[in-house]
Amino acid sequence: MKVAIVKYNSGNTFSVGSALSRLDLEPVITNDPDEIASADKVIFPGVGEASSAMSYLREAGLDRVIQSLRSDVLAICLGMQLICTYSEENDSTCLGILPHDVRRFPESVGKVPHVGWNTITDLKSPLFEGVSEGSRVYFVHSYYVDAGRDATASTEYGRSFTSALQHENFYGVQFHPEKSGQVGSRILQNFLDL
């Protein structure tokens, strides 16, 4: 099985690649559109800022490649936000694969960014096969997707937000499975097993 990790200026590709290596899988880390399009599975990670990430994706032609993928795609953290329609982060138009907006946490929720371990509940996806309700995973983010019809997990941080979603072959997780210990490894393995 060929797994491609999308390499771009906001990707945490090394830690995701290391997590897959621990599952005895050696991914291809690439920004080559043909390599990405021909992969059996694609992981679209992200750490950083939405508008500069989208600028890079457009300049490299990766926006159209990601939008056209028919293989299973796992979008992580900023990657999940970028597959939505719009982000309040620097007024960014995103990939528009899912019809959701990304909003900044208000200061009223407490410390922003939301950093550290938190629980995932309302689990409704094959990604969470064998994962217990209320399992703890690792988050680092200041922006979130409102709870909506594509949500497959939710988390409380001053308000309920979507911590995972799915639309057709696109799966998104706001947390970092590659930094979430055994639970994260199980989620990554479940993605590979889809």
The verdict on whether 133 is a catalytic residue reads: no
Say if strands 3-6 and 143-146 run parallel, antiparallel, or are unpaired: unpaired
Give the active site residue among 89, 114, 141, 178: 178
- The backbone torsions φ and ψ at residue 57, rounded to the nearest 5 degrees and listed phi first, read -60, -40
Q: Please confirm, yes or no, whether 94 is among the known catalytic residues.
A: no
Contact 152, 128 (CB under 8 A): yes
Task: Yes or no: say if 164 and 129 are a contact pair by the CB < 8 Å rule.
Answer: no
Q: Is 100 a catalytic residue?
A: no
What residues have CB less than 8 Å from 54, skipping those under 6 apart? 63, 82, 92, 93, 94, 95
Of the residues 77, 84, 89, 94, only one is catalytic, namely: 77
Just list the catalytic residues.
77, 176, 178
